[in-house]
Amino acid sequence: MPLTLTRRNVLKFVGGSIAGMMVTPLPWKLLDDVAIWTQNGPWIPKVPRGPITTAFSTCALCSAGCGIQARCVNTIPYALSGIRNHPANNGTLCPSGVAGHHLAYHPLRLKSPVQLFRREETIEVQPVSSEEILGKISAAVAISRNAGEGTLALLDQRPGRSVSLFYRNQLAMHGRGVYLVSPTDPILITQCLDEMVGTSFGPVGYNLERVRTVLSFSAPVLDGWGTPVQTSKMLAHRGSSGQKGARVIQIDSRYSRSAQLADQWIPIKPNTEAALAFGLAHVLLREGLYDKALIQSRALDFQTKGKHSYFDLVGRFTPDHTAECTGVSRDVIVATARALAAQGPSLVIGDGDSGGGPLGREAEMAVWGINILLGALGSNGAIVHHRAVPAPKEFSANGLSPVQGVSDIPDHSIGVLLIDASEQGDPLPWSLLERKLIPDQSLVVAFSPTLTGLAQHTHYIIPTPAHLEALTDVPTMLSSATGTFSVSSPLLRRPEGTMDAREIMGKIFEVEGTLEELLKQRTSAIFESRRGRVFKASTGSSVQLTELGSSDELWAELTAGGMWMDDPVRSKPLPEFHFMGRSPAAYERMLDAGEGISSSNEPDAPRKITVLPYGRRAEVGGAQLSPLMTKLYQESGLHRSSKVAVLNPATAKEFNVANGGRGTLVTERGTQEVTIRVDGAVMPGVAEIAVSPEPVGQAGTEIVQEQDILELIVPDQAPTWRAFRATLQKA
Amino acid sequence: MDKLLITRGVQRSPFWKFILWILPWAMLLAWGLYGAYLCLAEGLNQTNMDNRFAFGLWIYLDLTVIAFGAGAFFTGFLLYILKRHELKSVINSAVVLGLICYSGAIVVLMVDVGQPLRAWFTFWHPNVHSMLTEVTFCLTLYLTVLILEYAPIVMKNRQIRKVPSYLVFEFNLHKLMVVFAGVGAFLSFFHQGSLGGLYGVLRGRPFAFREDLGIWPSTFFLFVLSAMAAGPSFVLLTTWLVEKLSKKRLVKRETMSYLGKLSGVMLIIYILFKSVDTLIWINSTSPSSGFPAFEYYDRAAFGTWVLFAEVVLFGLLPALVLLRKKLRERMVWLIPSAVFVLAGVALNRFVLTIQTLALPTLVFDEFLSYMPSWQEVATFSMVIAYGVLLYSLSFRYLHLFPQERELTQPY
Amino acid sequence: MDQTTVKKSRYGMAIDLDRCTGCGACLIACAVENNVSPGQPKVNERNGTTWMRVFEVQDGRPFPDAQTAFIPMMCQQCEVETPCVSVCPQNAVEVDPETGIVGQIPQRCLGCRYCMTACPYHARYYNWWDPKWPDGMEKALNPDVAPRMRGVVEKCNFCHGRLHEARARAAAQGSRQINPSDYIPACVEACPVQAIAFGDLNDESTDVALLARSERAFRFLARLGTETKVYYLSGRDWVRRLADRELARSKKETLHG
């Protein structure tokens, strides 16, 4: 049949084709393809493809020194986990550590130097060259050195690192250099002990293995205070494992995580810890629950009769008087003191919480005092003396600038303030720092990977490598029984425009050398000491340092998730000491701290609320919060930011605010809006507010100033900011 | 032009008046379209729904609207299958209402689902165990039926019927009306029921979960019955409203009264079943899953008054009124009763959608509240505006009420 | 290969509520592993995406006697009458008969959220926004898990990516049976106090099977009859009474006489 091209035939052909096509896979495949196309828009990021590798390092977000194992794609880490059997974390990580590899992508990350202009609620930045900033610093440093106008101060957010030794060394040589740390730094706690003993007692740590009873004065002992391994051990007796752990008694004004998890929570009126410490000492002394002969032979201010002696001081804090001061019942005070003596070995921990501010010098000395009475400090106690981590000789030869707390230096004295915020440490109210500066003449520069935390208050920022881009060492944790040393080696390539703190300081002081050289020198010093053991990530076990062939071998282990742990030393016997320290008006200061004179004599109109700021380790600065931390802060109520105030229902009623409603906190320094959360477990009359700003999950169009409750602190009010008064109104 | 489209022998307001009436509704429609656009373009973060309140205003009103739209199938069923010819005078109006309700609900559903482009997956990978599959299939098919039922009404327009082939088509469609009515009734029975089943199968939500009757939970039948009660009331109420607005008699009073009677009968059956069902649920179903039933009524504004309102105030009361001939023949009784019937059914849908989601299941969870965002309100207003517009146009240009000419002439 | 040699598993968890410190490491590890994006500026507790959530629960006694427990809550992997499976109109939720894991197929999900209303544990999350990561962070996504776009539902699947990897590893060694130590969900791995045990409930010798049979074990809303595979452990009476409302009520009655 001839094929003629008529319209009818064409239509028939087309129709037939369509019908025939239906029985082929073609249209159905097309349909499925459309389905696949609708599955993911092209704007949804595709997952990276490339070789999968594993790398090891050490987390430097806090001084726990957890070993981390990174799974990498194209050498970029995409998931972190702990190294099994690692002495600090045994295969686990805290939430900050788990998301540590995200910090390099923080929305407020800086990759080139900037000058800052603070506006009403935002911050504007303008790019400048690092040479310009360094030139300004050098000029100011020269003026400070030659003309004597103002000091050169360096605030170290993570003291105890090798680079910290370098700083102290350089500042000592400068002449007018001041080395500053946050008043909450553990170094200052051991300084209190030094003040009691009269000389440097040397580094101390806690041997938690030995302890049966732990009494914590607001330290977050079960919430990131120690290493994950230590916390896990302390919690081991909970649950079914049948293991034994220490009994933890938490003294806390807040219903903190540690208060929630402790075996006993003793709520206490804010800022009355010193009184309770004296009250406990009173019971121990009155009931003779201490080694009389030893104390009498060692304590130089322990005359049982004389006025202004420790005995006299503590004598004032009868259980009834202490109960009045602290709000803790008389019976609890007596029972606690007895339990500490009977269920030893006992340990009393001061320290406070990293966000909540220091306990205060006097309270810390009062805590050391109980430890001494309980025998915790001495040959068989839980507070152990350990040796400093070996350091290159040049540091001791050139001298080290003393470690000073920010509140210990005179106001209006700083001409140039350098803030090493490359590792974020404990939070610090800017107001405390600001009043130390010479008004309108000072230069403030931060070295920081991000535009967060204290860096938001500076004139210039020189960007440093972020966590896991930087090479840094991790200092020994206060809770550690021996010195430790580990190195956080970079897992990510650092961006072009960044400089590490050693490079920056090298340029300012014109000193050659790199951080890597410094850390290698330190490693050599450790190797040469021939002490201690080394944990090897590759095998998951520890070996004697002497089994390693060379310093380079040690370096290789340390940079791959390893850790050096010093050998324990025999504890020193209790030296001679003063319970109240040696400063002139010691008795009066201790008494004031106990009676709370400095903080409680304000008129009570209008009625104010007591704000209790607190922080969580490694979650207190914006830079340390992975964008994913929105999961804990905004997307679940598990962690709270500075924007949330937690109140007892009765208190909320009293201030006319409701659960979920808004309130405004006002002090002389400013106002802050908070969302109210009501919690029946919280102490009446207080507002618990975290110091952390909310994590930034996404970059905004402008840089909004962090809302941090510490901004409200009026610096003259008290030497510590663990509790401060503010008015609270319904917003 | 406008005049030429209007059905011969009926009076309609002047064109400018009609435009004035249309204008605000058109503006509402535009606002609604903008709200819907935001939801489609930006995503459902524009709404105040969340992971716990995964259903909100839209689903609640969809259910309500679909129940109200049941008048179309129920009237059709009675007229064409059971030959209740007194309903002939409202069938066209009922069909338009049904079409509005169903098409509107489907439009909102398309905004409500996160991936409207994947809506056809339900036909491609259907899960035959899901009530929602049943709903989707029946809704789409029934919407087709409604369009086919609406088509002859459109084709009877004065101008359109001039095209001879349309007239033939219309005639043929009309002959098939019985089939459509049958299919419509069948489909409606299933999707009205399945909509109830949506909640009744929620084992994890003991507030909504009900025992099975055969293969369906009891809410399946309760929804069918309550929709059959609501449908005639809705037709009745809209007809009355149109009469008031157009200042014309459109339907004989006997028809109105008959619609009221239908509602009353269905409602009393529904209330009977509902009461038995509630008692079984309170005393057996709920407690056996660890949920003491009184706790549901122990939270926020949702006291036992809700149950009382649903069963007695908006159930038994209007049913008794509508069942009494003397009362339902008087408009002062009839119209408020119809309003009560609709309120009861709307409350039922509200309780099942909103209260179910607001109530916590885990002991340590809290009672939640939810307030729709303006985008949600706008999107739904769009459907209302669309409904009013479509009905107004249909009323003006199509012959919705066959008795109109006869009833208006004597005056 | 012989099919009968492949043993069917019932993966489950046992979470020790007496050990959980509420730190949230599990929650973050989960988000990292499963490429859940950081929250948008307007995100809140009710529209965020956290495949697991840790509830902070108190016993209701006032200051200073309150007791607190932390309850990590994720998909409980219901085995019987799985509420979310039967409701999904397009088969986007399935129970894998080989593992007992309830899987979500986001690519097939319509986003109707019916499954979310069906879930008694509120363990399902809807993507109210498109996922978005800060600049550069998309290079640090887990290559094993595809990000989901807005408008679909997702939930815990016991780290499906890790199961795949474990299977691939087993296959490379010519085995069809995975090595239990190769398959550990991210939350279990991260927990600093090792409060979560994970494994095959069918294998009597696993820790999780042992713990699930212990006296301290209970399941939430067990009376719904869905036979969940996530067990919780507590020796504290008030915590165990949180299991369902009837139990919680009996507590109140004894308290108030």
DSSP A136-159: HHHHHHHHHHHT--SEEEEEESST
Q: Which domain holds residue C90?
A: 3-255
Tokens 């001494």 correspond to what residue?
Answer: A372
C227 contacts in chain B (CB < 8 Å) = none
Report the alpha-carbon distance of residue B268 to residue B229 in Å, rounded.
Answer: 9
Interface of C with A in 77-106 (CB under 8 A): 106
Report the alpha-carbon distance of residue A428 to residue A202 in Å, rounded.
Answer: 26
Report the candidate in C44, C72, B365, C68 with the shortest Cα–Cα distance to residue A675.
Answer: C44
Please say if the pLDDT value at position A599 is more than 50.
Answer: no
Please say if the pLDDT value at position C256 is more than 60.
Answer: no
Q: What's the total number of domains in chain A?
A: 3
Given a contact cutoff of 8 angstroms between Cβ atoms, the answer to whether C127 and B49 are in contact is: no
Return phi, psi of residue B94, to 5°.
Answer: -60, -40
Q: Is residue A184 part of a domain?
A: no
Tokens 């029975």 correspond to what residue?
Answer: B189
Tell me what the mean pLDDT of segment C66-78 comes to: 96
Chain B interface mutation, best of C94, C95, C224, highest count of B Cβ atoms under 10 Å: C224
- Asked if the Cβ–Cβ distance from A38 to B124 is below 8 Å, we say no
The pLDDT, as a whole number, for residue A719 is 65
Please say if the pLDDT value at position A36 is more than 60.
Answer: yes
Interface of C with A in 117-156 (CB under 8 A): 130-149
Q: What is the pLDDT of residues A472-531, one digit of tens each?
A: 999 999 889 899 999 999 999 999 989 999 999 999 888 999 999 999 999 999 999 999
Interface check for A38 against chain B (CB to CB < 8 A): the answer is yes
Tell me what the mean pLDDT of segment B203-213 comes to: 93
Q: Is residue A606 part of a domain?
A: yes
- Asked if the Cβ–Cβ distance from A627 to C107 is below 8 Å, we say no
Is-cis flag, bond preceding A159, omega within 30? no
pTM as predicted? 0.92
Please say if the pLDDT value at position B77 is more than 70.
Answer: yes
C48 contacts in chain B (CB < 8 Å) = 51
Task: Determine the distance from the C-alpha atom of residue A199 to the mean position of all C-alpha atoms in its chain, rounded to a whole number.
Answer: 28
- Confidence band (pLDDT; 50, 70, 90) for C257? very low
C109 contacts in chain B (CB < 8 Å) = 114-115, 118
Q: What CA–CA distances, in Å, run from B148 to A307, B135, B153, B319, B329?
A: 106, 20, 9, 33, 34
Q: Is residue A51 part of a domain?
A: no
What ipTM was predicted for this assembly?
A: 0.93
Q: What's the total number of domains in chain C?
A: 1
- Confidence band (pLDDT; 50, 70, 90) for A140? confident
- In our burial notation (b when 16+ CB lie closer than 10 A, e otherwise), range A19-45 reads eeeeeeeeeeeeeeeebeebbbeeebb
Higher per-residue pLDDT: B96 or A174: B96
A35 contacts in chain B (CB < 8 Å) = 118, 121, 124
- In our burial notation (b when 16+ CB lie closer than 10 A, e otherwise), range B47-72 reads bbbbbbbbbbbbbbbbbbbbbbbbbb
Q: What is the pLDDT of residues B22-57, one digit of tens each?
A: 999 999 999 999 999 999 999 999 999 999 999 999
Chain A interface mutation, best of C63, C198, C208, C239, highest count of A Cβ atoms under 10 Å: C63
Report the alpha-carbon distance of residue C177 to residue C171 in Å, rounded.
Answer: 8
Tell me what the mean pLDDT of segment A713-729 comes to: 81
- Confidence band (pLDDT; 50, 70, 90) for B90? very high
Please say if the pLDDT value at position B370 is more than 80.
Answer: yes
Interface check for C90 against chain B (CB to CB < 8 A): the answer is yes
- Asked if the Cβ–Cβ distance from A635 to C39 is below 8 Å, we say yes
Interface check for C196 against chain B (CB to CB < 8 A): the answer is no
Q: What is the pLDDT of residues A275-318, one digit of tens each?
A: 999 999 999 999 999 999 999 899 988 877 778 889 889 999 99
**Cα nearest neighbour of C196 on chain A:** A239
- Asked if the Cβ–Cβ distance from A35 to B115 is below 8 Å, we say no
Please say if the pLDDT value at position C125 is more than 90.
Answer: yes
Q: Which domain holds residue A30?
A: 7-39
The pLDDT, as a whole number, for residue A602 is 53
A93 contacts in chain C (CB < 8 Å) = 25, 29, 190, 192
Point out the domain boundary residue: A385, A401, A431. A385
What is the average pLDDT value for chain B, to the nearest integer? 92
Given a contact cutoff of 8 angstroms between Cβ atoms, the answer to whether A581 and A363 are in contact is: no
Tell me what the mean pLDDT of segment A61-73 comes to: 94
- Asked if the Cβ–Cβ distance from C87 to B205 is below 8 Å, we say no
Report the candidate in A706, A79, A181 with the shortest Cα–Cα distance to residue A432.
Answer: A181
The pLDDT, as a whole number, for residue A91 is 92
Q: Which CATH architecture has domain B49-370?
A: Up-down Bundle (1.20)
Report the alpha-carbon distance of residue A160 to residue A203 in Å, rounded.
Answer: 11
Please say if the pLDDT value at position A178 is more than 90.
Answer: yes
Chain A partners (3+ C-beta pairs within 8 A): B, C
What is the distance in angstroms between the Cα of C53 and the nearest Cα belonging to chain B? Answer: 12
- Asked if the Cβ–Cβ distance from B50 to C223 is below 8 Å, we say no
Give the range among A2-11, A466-475, B265-274, B288-297 with minimum mean pLDDT: A2-11
Three-state SS at A333: helix
What is the average pLDDT value for chain A, to the nearest integer? 89
- In our burial notation (b when 16+ CB lie closer than 10 A, e otherwise), range A622-631 reads bbbbbbbbbb
Q: What is the pLDDT of residues A186-210, one digit of tens each?
A: 888 889 999 999 888 888 888 888 8
Please say if the pLDDT value at position C155 is more than 90.
Answer: yes
- Confidence band (pLDDT; 50, 70, 90) for C6? low
A226 contacts in chain C (CB < 8 Å) = none
Tell me what the mean pLDDT of segment B69-90 comes to: 90
B203 contacts in chain C (CB < 8 Å) = 81, 83, 118, 120, 224-226
- Confidence band (pLDDT; 50, 70, 90) for A3? low
Q: What is the pLDDT of residues B210-256, one digit of tens each?
A: 999 888 999 999 999 999 999 999 999 999 999 999 888 899 999 99
The pLDDT, as a whole number, for residue A520 is 96
C71 contacts in chain B (CB < 8 Å) = 364
Q: What is the pLDDT of residues B286-332, one digit of tens each?
A: 999 999 998 899 887 888 999 999 999 999 999 999 999 999 999 99
Residues 6+ apart with CB under 8 A from A265: A249, A250, A252, A255, A259, C64
Please say if the pLDDT value at position C220 is more than 90.
Answer: yes
The pLDDT, as a whole number, for residue A150 is 85
Please say if the pLDDT value at position B411 is more than 50.
Answer: no
Residues above pLDDT 70, as percent of chain A: 95
Given a contact cutoff of 8 angstroms between Cβ atoms, the answer to whether A49 and C143 are in contact is: yes
**Cα nearest neighbour of A36 on chain B:** B118
- Under DSSP, the state recorded for B362 is S
- Under DSSP, the state recorded for B7 is P
Residues 6+ apart with CB under 8 A from A235: A222, A245, A261, C19, C21, C193
Interface check for B118 against chain A (CB to CB < 8 A): the answer is yes
Chain B interface mutation, best of A29, A30, A33, A38, highest count of B Cβ atoms under 10 Å: A38
The pLDDT, as a whole number, for residue A241 is 54
The pLDDT, as a whole number, for residue A605 is 54
Paired tokens of A528: 């040469």
A493 contacts in chain C (CB < 8 Å) = none
Tell me what the mean pLDDT of segment A254-272 comes to: 93
Helices of type H across A343-437: 361-373, 393-398, 430-434
Paired tokens of A57: 């390092």
Please say if the pLDDT value at position A601 is more than 60.
Answer: no
Chain C interface mutation, best of A47, A96, A612, highest count of C Cβ atoms under 10 Å: A47
Paired tokens of A587: 């008795």
Paired tokens of A222: 């079960």
Residue among C48, C120, C244 minimizing CB distance to B204: C120
Chain B interface mutation, best of C17, C112, C132, highest count of B Cβ atoms under 10 Å: C112
Find the CATH number of the domain harbouring C92: 3.30.70.20
Please say if the pLDDT value at position C3 is more than 50.
Answer: no
Chain B partners (3+ C-beta pairs within 8 A): A, C
Please say if the pLDDT value at position A388 is more than 80.
Answer: yes
Q: Is residue A354 part of a domain?
A: yes
Interface check for A101 against chain C (CB to CB < 8 A): the answer is yes
Residue-range domain boundaries for chain B: 49-370
Please say if the pLDDT value at position C92 is more than 60.
Answer: yes
Please give the angle made by the CA atoms of B278, B283 and B289, to the nearest 5 degrees. Answer: 105
The pLDDT, as a whole number, for residue C49 is 95
- Confidence band (pLDDT; 50, 70, 90) for A239? low
What is the distance in angstroms between the Cα of B300 and the nearest Cα belonging to chain A? Answer: 15
Residue among C112, C223, C249 minimizing CB distance to B132: C112
B128 CB burial (10 A radius; 0-12, 13-18, 19+): exposed
Q: Is residue A220 part of a domain?
A: yes
